[in-house]
Structure 1
Amino acid sequence: EDGAMVFYPPKERKKGESFNIVSRQDYTNFILSLEWRVAEGANSGIFWGVKEDPTYGQPYETGPEIQVLDNARHPDAKAGDTHQAGALYDMVAPSQDVTKPAGEWNTCVITVNYEEQQGMVNLNGVDIVTFPLGNKEWDALVSQSKFAGWSGFGKFHTGKIGLQDHGDVVAYRNIRIKKL
């Protein structure tokens, strides 16, 4: 719609059915730039390092997530800072809330650079999250998160990029990626 990919969740789903979307190509070091917009109370996410394999049923089983959320209305925003929009989900909280209200476009730039062992999230022109990658500091973050013990989580430095179906209306546009 108007140059955006808009997801309208189906009214009825079969058990285990989801409509996540992942890239055709695999990426390791990159800068991903996109705009996202959520409906009131909506939740979604942006994954990287997604491994498509029958062992893993969903992208979140392998791919770390940058949270996409209506901070004002979704319960996740109240569950802790590491669940708010722009967070490295359940691991690193944003330094501040710079999200625009539900229904407005947010510009997100995600940098993933395993060579430099660092990742970053810029939301609406503000650097709000930095995090380690592929090192002991990363392993410590994972071990203190809900993903501790997940066999494939965050293990794949090269993988697909995904957009999450979390059962809510969400839109993405102006998606660009630059390999580093």
Structure 2
Amino acid sequence: MRTAAQCLLCIVVVGCKPAATSSEDATIITSSAETKAEPTGDWQWLFNGASVDAWTDKDDQAIGEQWQIIDDALVLTAAGGGAVVTKQSFTDFELELDWQIAASGNSGIFYKVAGPDSKVRSGGLEYQLLDNDNYPGHDNPVHFTAALFDIYPPELDAHLPAGSWNNTRIIVRYPHVEHWLNDKLVLQFELGSADWQKRAAQSKFAPEHVLGANEPGHIMLQDHGDRIAFRQIRIRAL
């Protein structure tokens, strides 16, 4: 689920690298040699398993100590770490990453999160991450993994169970947006369309946020209180 976030972000912020932690502290994490591979073409790393220099917290401070690098993954080990946000903003882009959620876990990947120079006010759009099989009380498809949270449900179920590594891609070519999960296109929609406007107006975000503008925005990884791991986070401009 989404947290209320009125992000006032600086683009240039001094980052902090969490202390590397032994895999003994993360029983569901397994290492991947691919994590430190160099990106090709126009891709750039947001997290390559070694550094969080591309990230800050939502208040332009060092990210919380509850975020730790464990076996080349960025892991929220306990609640209280806060959301982590990219220092850089993006307009049209392709984002790709792997994620692994704990049993009964809930989290999210936000994009188009407004910065201080944005002409619009937006807490961003949420690609939902959930243990669909065990999370209590979530029986609405607009809250399932790969949904645009509270607005569009995924059109098919491609999630792997909690403890597995899932692969996500988010493609934004304004106004077209695609959500991919484990190499399957599970959702696509048009920002600003009549259907979009109707659904957004009926969601939990209206009228507090202006969503879907053709503006640069930041990527944000949520702290929903549940253990979540991310690895091989890369992005390219489109």
TM-score, scaled relative to structure 1: 0.84
Residue pairs, 1:141-156, within 5 angstroms = 141-155=199-213
Shift of 1:98: 1.1
1:45 equivalent in alignment to 2:95? no
For the 8 Å contact 2:191–2:212, the answer to whether it is kept is no
1:85 equivalent in alignment to 2:145? yes
Residue pairs, 1:11-30, within 5 angstroms = 19-30=82-93
Q: How far apart, CA to CA, are the structure 1 residues paired with 2:197 and 2:83?
A: 26
Q: How far apart, CA to CA, are the structure 1 residues paired with 2:173 and 2:189?
A: 10
Q: Bigger shift: 67-76 or 97-106? A: 67-76
Report 1 or 2 for greater relative contact order, CA contacts < 8 Å, sequence distance ≥ 6: 1
SS at match of 1:141: helix
Aligned partner of 1:96 in structure 2 is 156
Q: Bigger shift: 147-156 or 81-90? A: 147-156
Structure 2 residues not aligned, in runs of 5+: 1-69, 117-121
Residue pairs, 1:1-180, within 5 angstroms = 1-10=70-79, 19-53=82-116, 62-75=123-136, 77-78=138-139, 80-114=140-174, 117-155=175-213, 157-180=215-238
Q: How far apart, CA to CA, are the structure 2 residues paired with 1:155 and 1:173?
A: 28
Structure 1 residues not aligned, in runs of 5+: 54-60
For the 8 Å contact 1:81–1:87, the answer to whether it is kept is yes
* Residues paired across the two proteins, number: 164
CA deviation map 1:66-106 (0-9, x unaligned): 0011001113532x000000000011111121111101100
Q: How far apart, CA to CA, are the structure 2 residues paired with 1:153 and 1:130?
A: 16
SS at match of 1:75: coil
Q: Which runs of 4+ in 1 moved over 3 A?
A: 134-137, 151-156
- Percent identity, aligned pairs only, is 39
RMSD: 1.7
Q: How far apart, CA to CA, are the structure 2 residues paired with 1:164 and 1:88?
A: 14
Q: How far apart, CA to CA, are the structure 2 residues paired with 1:49 and 1:156?
A: 9
Structure with the greater alpha carbon radius of gyration: 2
TM-score, scaled relative to structure 2: 0.65
